[in-house]
Amino acid sequence: MRILVIAAAVLALTVASAQAQMGGGRRHPNEGGQKADNKPKVDDKAYKAALERIPEPKEKYDPWSGARPADPAKKPK
């Protein structure tokens, strides 16, 4: 009898956590016939103009520069 109660408790906890992750089956506010177009419209000309204003880097960026040791002096063979 204890095994049955423990199994039921484990099953209930599993279902409760899965329901919490999936949202419990509630409808989302934007579903069901109401469509909200709150997305901003992208202006291609403004986007291209903003890209042209970004300055070109003088040297190439190295994201691993702090992780590598400094170049040791090369020894002739």
| Spatial separation of the C-alpha atoms in residues 61 and 63, rounded to whole Å | 6
Query: Is 30 within 8 Å of 36 (Cβ atoms)?
Result: yes
Write down the pTM of the prediction. 0.30
Burial label, 54 (beta-carbon count in 10 A; 0-12, 13-18, 19+): exposed
Q: pLDDT digit string (tens) for 11-41? A: 888 877 767 666 655 666 655 555 556 767 7
Query: Could you say which DSSP state residue 16 is in?
Result: H
pLDDT of residue 49: 92
| Spatial separation of the C-alpha atoms in residues 67 and 75, rounded to whole Å | 23
